[in-house]
Chains A and B, each alone.
Chain A
């Protein structure tokens, strides 16, 4: 057991991935000597060399596009996009190439590429450094999208993502980078594409991922005072969604609330609401409700706490659900 922050857990996971397979390479801006702006790749270039931990020119499409070529040559690239808002220059390569080469070649060409993206707000950053663009990628067939909410998952999920033969968009909640827990490096991890009930309850199911899992756990703790037992699901995998865990929970509670930082309109909550309605219709006591960022571009940081879902907004939506 080691006490690790999420950033250190990711670092340890990447180190193990580099050790496990000589074809694994890391590429991105400032990932080498500096160790990344969040220090997630700290020390890796020193130990694995410039050929495996590659400081890239400052061009996101170039980082992902060359990763496609390296994957075609048998490598397993792990790309770092420095901040969520900088992934858009690489969007074409991700959506038109990374996601489709397996399909275009009818299974002959695999794209074992991981694209790591620190995402989400809450760190007082300037514009373009607090976005939650996960829905764009979930909407794209051929990509898989996951996100970790804690150091233990970070450690295992990054290794599982690197080992996957499918392209994985790996979202890291940057405001949780420095939260720490014990990580058992000898444990057996859950499958990558599985959700997990992180708190059991009977009254309402809260579904969250990444940075909002902690918010929901705090809300569940607070709800006890009001006499409500909330169940919290950490979705972990956003595409594909692990609906079995969701369905089982909602069939038990009859009430479902989704929580994410990303804008409401066509966010993950919308897909969850649709699927829950299809699969749990006769169990529902209330419509599926959604807590999300507002449908405005991410605001200046002085008001971001108002924009981001917090404990009060989650509990307010829980009350609305219970009121049906």
Chain B
């Protein structure tokens, strides 16, 4: 279904580590880190995958309402996440679990959102990781506006690495069809904003293949907006790291936006509500399984001798322990009380809402002495908050 000009055409992409785990050279990009750093990437990716597996299991067991799996996209997320400087700021979609991991977001907060206890429980300013945005592509504009603010703050192109910063806006292949993403490209280009647009082209927007979104490779879209674009092997953590590092540096120095297309594959369903067997072939999955982002790093580390059996076993054990702890903490997340939410509609509360809240609290109080009825879910009357 691909042709030479198609969005999934078999064209050259930046690759520094082959699916077989061999390091290769690229004329423009190189990975300058050592094997210890690569071992760190390996650990990040294994942990991210284990969190994803646990979350999927929790959903199957009815503990999460939904989960959007990041399976197969670990290199794209960890490679870009680890390239971030300590001042850079990220605007994610709802699938950037690996980036969240790299920025130190407590993974239980990601689960909390999908469990339905809140709408994003992490401190996004402190983590430099904005709340998950569910409306497709909307965050690309937020990222651009934030970058425009950074530029106004004089934190671009000063030459001081302690000051200069950049913004990364994540989105997927489907989002490139959204007006907001295209408008973000225009605003970023027009104002030369310090931003990296990071597109994970995982080939599928729920059931629609990339060919439905684009007739040209996505990275080439950038040239139409007046900034550079590059396609990297999104399953190659070294290539993603190298390309993101370069793009961030470009942004921080005041050279403007760029687009990275991380060419990867959504190994799982769109979300746990989806059934990909209805629209894609098992062959395709097998084809991509051979390009697994974690296996190739393991092969490399094994071959180079930097990773021995003990190392891999340690990471595995750590992942198992982490997942068990995460499960426990997820199950312990308390349900919120609806009355709390009345307090977060406005920074300055309005009388009408205050009255509505008080009225509902009074209504709840009428249940205080009522006998519980089997199978009837009553509002919780024991709210201790300030009414």
Tell me, yes or no, whether A65 is within 8 Å of chain B by CB.
yes
- Given known contacts A57-B187, A102-B346, A166-B346, is B124 in contact with A68 (CB within 8 Å)? no
- For the complex, give the distance between the alpha carbons of A208 and B341 in Å: 32
Tell me, yes or no, whether B118 is within 8 Å of chain A by CB.
yes
Tell me, yes or no, whether B321 is within 8 Å of chain A by CB.
no
Partner of A93, one of B118, B121, B141, B186: B141
A141 to B: closest C-beta gap in Å: 5
- For the complex, give the distance between the alpha carbons of A109 and B146 in Å: 13
Tell me, yes or no, whether A105 is within 8 Å of chain B by CB.
yes
B5 to A: closest C-beta gap in Å: 28
Q: Which of A31-73 contact B (CB under 8 A)?
A: 51, 56-57, 59, 61-62, 64-73
Tell me, yes or no, whether B11 is within 8 Å of chain A by CB.
no
B193 to A: closest C-beta gap in Å: 9
- For the complex, give the distance between the alpha carbons of A136 and B351 in Å: 20
Chain B residue with the shortest CB-CB distance to A99: B345
- For the complex, give the distance between the alpha carbons of A96 and B141 in Å: 13
**Would you call B346 and A144 a contact (CB within 8 A)?**
yes
Interface of B is mostly: helix
- For the complex, give the distance between the alpha carbons of A100 and B346 in Å: 9
B182 to A: closest C-beta gap in Å: 9
Contact bitstring B175-193, A, C-beta under 8 A = 1, else 0: 0000110011011001000
- Residues in B whose Cβ lies below 8 Å from that of A25: 152
**Would you call B138 and A96 a contact (CB within 8 A)?**
yes
B105 to A: closest C-beta gap in Å: 14
Tell me, yes or no, whether B287 is within 8 Å of chain A by CB.
no
- Residues in B whose Cβ lies below 8 Å from that of A65: 138, 140-142, 144-145, 180, 183-184
- For the complex, give the distance between the alpha carbons of A51 and B152 in Å: 7
Tell me, yes or no, whether A74 is within 8 Å of chain B by CB.
yes
**Would you call B142 and A68 a contact (CB within 8 A)?**
yes
- Residues in B whose Cβ lies below 8 Å from that of A74: 149
Tell me, yes or no, whether B131 is within 8 Å of chain A by CB.
yes
**Would you call A103 and B345 a contact (CB within 8 A)?**
yes
Among B119, B187, B341, chain A packs the most CB atoms within 10 A around the CB of B187
**Would you call B149 and A89 a contact (CB within 8 A)?**
no
A142 to B: closest C-beta gap in Å: 5
- Residues in A whose Cβ lies below 8 Å from that of B348: 164-166
- Residues in A whose Cβ lies below 8 Å from that of B343: 107
**Would you call A69 and B141 a contact (CB within 8 A)?**
yes
B321 to A: closest C-beta gap in Å: 30
Q: Which of A89-103 contact B (CB under 8 A)?
A: 89, 92-93, 96-97, 100-103
Contact bitstring B293-321, A, C-beta under 8 A = 1, else 0: 00000000000000000000000000000
A230 to B: closest C-beta gap in Å: 26
- For the complex, give the distance between the alpha carbons of A72 and B121 in Å: 17
**Would you call B352 and A243 a contact (CB within 8 A)?**
yes
**Would you call A108 and B125 a contact (CB within 8 A)?**
yes
B14 to A: closest C-beta gap in Å: 28
- Given known contacts A57-B186, A67-B145, A193-B350, is B344 in contact with A102 (CB within 8 Å)? yes
- Given known contacts A57-B183, A57-B190, is B130 in contact with A72 (CB within 8 Å)? yes
Tell me, yes or no, whether B100 is within 8 Å of chain A by CB.
no
- For the complex, give the distance between the alpha carbons of A101 and B133 in Å: 10
Tell me, yes or no, whether A220 is within 8 Å of chain B by CB.
no
A278 to B: closest C-beta gap in Å: 11
Interface CB pairs A-B, < 8 A, 15: A59-B183, A62-B184, A62-B187, A65-B142, A65-B183, A68-B141, A69-B142, A75-B149, A89-B179, A92-B180, A93-B141, A105-B120, A106-B121, A107-B347, A193-B350
- List the 7 closest pairs (A to B, CB-CB), nearest first: A69-B145, A65-B141, A73-B149, A66-B145, A62-B183, A69-B146, A240-B350
